[in-house]
């Protein structure tokens, strides 16, 4: 029986004079730009300042790339260190090798630093980024396709992946097809982005809940995809290290989601706002133009009367929310 198959690209590097143009790098950069664009639109829609997302993304990307590479080098150190190995190749990021959990962990640290400097809360940024991150990961897997790496075990399915002999791990006869795990993860991530957008509206996931849901979605898919792969990897009790990592991170995401959901139900007002009172005042001092708009809006309210003056019921509801929202962060208010 003649099987259909997915051919691998004939090359993954093109040269513009002395400069190599690598498909892997283009895939990563395209994913980063698209993720920033989606996050920026979503963050502004949540009330966040338009000029903040680029500053946040810059530090998050720098830290994320460093963290992703560190995770890969640490978990696959035998590829770079030991007899006959060249440790300098650990710096060759263009050859592939970015561990997603190292990227997420240090990327979150970079975003936190940027948010702290701007006087912003991290959780609305994380929620705005969650579906965008899945889209970026999907696009990034195209780079693995061009590098002919991270494929799965042999298969006879019609969508089996062709791999050139020099890229095959192990001894397999000519014409062997492999599971296109890069494609499985792409599809899983894109479906996940749609799922996150759906449940965000359905269950009003704010205050970091959507990011926790992202963690659970991605890791649950990564477990079965990782089990299909046959590339060299360290194992623990016969199971690939990345599988253990995914399981542990999934549990952490589940616990975080439960705690954040309880926090939201107890105090819904604080979770849906991007600045605390203290942080908002610091931010307005750094951005006088926004403060002027705020003062102008306040003056207009005085002329027209406040919403509470026009409708006494609103004042009662506001007092109730204020009582419920009292806490370490104080009552938050959105910037104009």
Q: Considering 271, 302, 317, which residue would you say is the last residue of a domain?
A: 271
Which of these ranges, 12-26, 133-147, 304-318, has the smallest mean pLDDT?
304-318
Domain boundaries, position 30: 5-271
Residues 181 and 59 in one domain: yes
Residues 174 and 318 in one domain: no
pLDDT of residue 275: 54
Residues 199 and 286 in one domain: no
pLDDT of residue 74: 87
Residue 247 CA: distances (Å) to CA of 154, 163, 253, 273: 25, 30, 10, 31
Binned at pLDDT 50, 70 and 90, residue 174 comes out as confident
Any alpha helices (H) in the chain, and if so which ranges? 23-45, 52-75, 100-118, 122-147, 181-203, 209-228, 241-266, 268-271, 277-286, 288-304, 307-310, 312-325
**Structural domain count of the chain:** 2
Residues 90 and 234 in one domain: yes
In-domain check, residue 330: no
Residues 287 and 186 in one domain: no
Residues 150 and 244 in one domain: yes
Residues 246 and 198 in one domain: yes
pLDDT of residue 285: 67
CA separation for the pair 222, 150 (Å, rounded) = 12
Binned at pLDDT 50, 70 and 90, residue 97 comes out as confident
Which of these ranges, 151-165, 193-207, 232-246, 314-328, has the smallest mean pLDDT?
314-328
pLDDT in tens, 251-281: 999 999 999 999 988 877 656 555 555 555 6
In-domain check, residue 74: yes
Residues 128 and 161 in one domain: yes
Residues 57 and 153 in one domain: yes
SS3 of residue 21 by DSSP = strand
pTM above 0.85, yes or no: no
Mean pLDDT of 177-199: 97
Kindly state the tokens that stand for 301. Answer: 């309210």
């Amino acid at each position: 029986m003649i099987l259909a198959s997915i051919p691998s690209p004939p090359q993954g590097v093109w040269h513009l004079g002395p400069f190599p143009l690598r498909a892997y790098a283009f895939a990563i950069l395209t994913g980063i730009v698209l993720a920033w664009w989606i996050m920026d639109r979503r963050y502004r829609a949540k009330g966040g300042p338009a000029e903040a997302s680029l500053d946040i993304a810059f530090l998050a990307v720098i830290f994320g790339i460093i963290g992703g590479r560190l995770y890969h080098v640490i978990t696959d150190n035998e590829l770079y260190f030991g007899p006959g190995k060249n440790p300098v190749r650990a710096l060759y990021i263009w050859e592939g090798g970015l561990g997603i959990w190292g990227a997420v962990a240090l990327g979150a640290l970079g975003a936190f630093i940027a948010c702290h400097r701007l006087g912003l809360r991290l959780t609305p940024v994380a929620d705005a980024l969650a579906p965008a991150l899945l889209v970026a990961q999907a696009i990034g897997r195209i780079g693995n396709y061009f590098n002919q790496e991270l494929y799965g075990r042999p298969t006879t399915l019609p969508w089996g992946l062709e791999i050139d002999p020099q890229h095959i791990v192990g001894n397999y006869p000519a014409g062997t097809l492999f599971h296109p795990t890069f494609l499985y993860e792409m599809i899983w991530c894109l479906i996940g982005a749609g799922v996150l957008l759906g449940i965000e509206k359905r269950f009003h996931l704010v205050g970091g809940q959507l990011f926790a849901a992202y963690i659970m979605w991605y890791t649950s898919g990564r477990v079965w995809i990782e089990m299909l792969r046959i590339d060299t990897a360290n194992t623990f009790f016969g199971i690939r290290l990345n599988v253990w990592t995914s399981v542990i991170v999934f549990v952490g995401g589940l616990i975080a989601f439960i705690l954040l959901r309880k926090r939201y139900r107890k105090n819904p007002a604080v979770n849906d706002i991007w600045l605390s009172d203290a942080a908002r005042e610091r931010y307005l001092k750094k951005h006088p133009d926004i403060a002027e708009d705020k003062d102008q809006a306040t003056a207009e309210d005085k002329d027209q009367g406040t919403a509470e003056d026009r409708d006494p019921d609103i004042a009662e509801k506001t007092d109730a929310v204020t009582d419920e929202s009292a806490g370490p962060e104080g009552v938050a208010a959105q910037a104009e």
